Amino acid sequence: MGQISKQARNKRADATEEIKSTAEITNWLTYGLQHYLPPEVEPNLKKLGLAGHSRGGKVAFALALGRLASISTDLKFSALIAVADPGIFFGV
């Protein structure tokens, strides 16, 4: 019952789309966030943290450390908190 093929496991382990989405959201912060904040609130995007758990931890590490050359952000992270099983980092 339930043997998962290596190809299916690798596809499930691939987080490229999540990393890309997270980069897009991070880049949106520079031009889109202020619209949703009260006028007297000024975001400090020089103090930006990124956190994730499990697969989200994999995504956080990959984005913050520039694991994929084709995906980057306009902003840099000053804090990274990621909790993930070390085995999750094989494959992207």
By C-alpha distance, which of 85, 92, 91, 28 is closest to 63?
A: 92
Could you write out the three-class secondary structure of the chain?
Answer: CCCCCHHHHHHHHCCHHHHHHHHHHHHHHHHHHHHHCCCCCCCCCCCCEEEEECHHHHHHHHHHCCCCCCCCCCCCCCEEEEECCHHHHCCC
pLDDT, position 17: 94
pLDDT reported for residue 91:
54
Would you kindly state where each structural domain of the chain is located, as residue ranges? 9-87
pLDDT surpasses 70 at 12: no
- Tell me, what's the pLDDT at 9? 52
**What pLDDT, on a 0 to 100 scale, did the predictor assign at position 18?**
95
Residue pLDDT, tens place only, 31-89: 999 999 999 999 999 999 999 998 999 899 999 988 888 999 999 999 999 887 766 65
